A and B are shown apart, each in its own frame.
Chain A
Amino acid sequence: MLTSSKDSLDVKELELLITRIQEGNTSQYSLIVKAFQQPIYRYCYRLLANKQDAEDAVQDILVKAYQSLHQYKRAENFSAWLYRIAYNHCLNLLRKRRVHKQVMRIIRWETQSASPEQELDNRLYNPSLAVALSQLSPEERSMLVMRVFEEQTYAEMSEILKIRPNALIKRMNRIKQKVRKVMKSEEEEIDWREQKLPMNTKI
């Protein structure tokens, strides 16, 4: 589910490769990087909505995975294992962002303009979806990205998130309703603003 087709590895190749890396053949890890960098990047970019943050995250995740490779058990699905590292890493980043925002509000710096790096990529989602996503918790947002944009099955998500598929279905339904509700109200708001704009310009 998580390899780019160009450099994809089948399960057997992957297992052999991991054994070699665990035995100390560091250079073989480059094949893992090549196979997984693009899908992980896609996931991080959708989740973090910032190109630079996503690029940094991919590097950090792949280095972290290398350092944790001794913890990887062969019975596990490697891509789910890697996705879990990516999920935890991105969630931490999103939580830090949230704390940062709160601190900024407390010290009344909220009116300062964000640096280009802090600015979210507004090309990625249309305004109503961007607002809806911003109102989700990092966990909910990650689940939505996995399900909608990465097209993962509930079984795959369950392996990554360690949540039972039935519970995931219920949570995804709630997330879906929440997103649609916010999107609808945002679209109505945008329509209203657009209708009002010509009147204002006349004045």
Chain B
Amino acid sequence: MERAEITHEYQDIIRATDKGSLPEIDVLEQVMGRITELEDHRRPSLKGAMRRTTVLGSALTLILMISVTAYATSEYIQIRNKAGTVKVQYVAPSDETAGMATSYNKYAMQAQNYAKPGELIAYYVKDNNTSSDSEPVLQFEYKGNRIPSYVDFSAEIKRTGAPELPEVTNGYTFEYGIVSPSIPMTDAEKREPIYQKTLSELTARASKATSGEKLFMMAVPWSKPAFVSGKYSKGGAHISISVNLMHEGKMFVVQEQENKVEKITVAGTEVVYNSVNKEQVSYQYLNWYNEKQDAYYTLSSYGDKALTKEQYLQLARELLE
């Protein structure tokens, strides 16, 4: 109603403007190019800032499952399993970890657009000049799926064999959960029949294509989880419990300068209390390694009421016992 009145009210001014429509523009490539460049150069500070609103998600982006052993390890926190093997290693930010930035990839974006929530898409790019692999490779994109019903979330946990998360914790009730797949990366995973079958199907489609098409993709079934998370709320206060499944790997956690860490034993398990104090923001979160599940837990709180250190430790105790 109000909008209709605008045309009437200002018709003399509208009449005095160009009647033709304004030109269309497309700055997608330029903007994404600049963002990728920014990410490559400024990742540590940007990531730190990003964590202000999504402590859980951003904390996870700093967790890197990489096979690097060249870090100076002595002054950084380590968590070992019963056999004495280091399973979790805090490391200093480095160029190598900064290079883990998610860069803009137009094919990945197309795969994202193609996928339905919860679907894992395998895609193959024909004549991919950006790939350094000589052999044809599949790439994967997963479209996130928030599961708002605890019953459905619990069913997804059972289907994938992921660690269970509670429905209510410390008075915070379940809001939604996420279960994400593990992406095939190792040579053993690439030799699996499902991978090989998908690869041959997509490469066959690519070789038959005559229209200059470059991207070939299909949804693939998945059952191996990589990440499970639950968001819980009490009014405007939220907590997140997230679990990274390590699948016999080793967890490297980038420790920024502003992150003060403290190792504390809770219910017989070593937990790491992280307190990050930056100029504009400060936040805390808790991590621990669960040997039985071979999983790395992150507990964070945000919203209008963050947990105190004691509350964090109490909640960890409840989850560990």
Contact = CB atoms under 8 A, between A and B. Distances in A.
7 contacts: A24-B58, A26-B39, A27-B105, A33-B32, A37-B28, A59-B34, A70-B50
A89 interface: no
Nearest to A183: B16
A3 interface: no
A69 interface: yes
A93 B204 CA distance: 53
A26 B104 contact: yes
Interface string A124-156: 111011000000000000001001110101100
A126 B17 contact: yes
Q: What's the dominant secondary structure at chain A's contact region?
A: helix
Interface of B: 2-3, 6-7, 9-10, 12-14, 16-18, 22-28, 30-32, 34-36, 38-39, 46-47, 49-54, 56-58, 60-61, 101-106, 108-109, 112-113, 144, 146
Contact of B22 (A45, A144, A151): A45
Contact of A34 (B16, B24, B28): B28
B279 to A, nearest CB: 13
Interface residues of A, number: 52
A203 B61 CA distance: 79
A82 to B, nearest CB: 13
A19 B28 CA distance: 20
Contact of B58 (A23, A38, A128, A153): A23
A29 B57 contact: no
Select the residue from A22, A27, A149 with max chain B CB neighbours within 10 A.
A27
A55 B27 contact: yes
A37 B31 CA distance: 10
B31 A62 contact: yes
Interface string A144-183: 1001110101100000000000000000000010011001
Contacts of B35: 26, 29, 63, 66
A199 interface: no
Contacts of B60: 23-24
Nearest to B102: A26
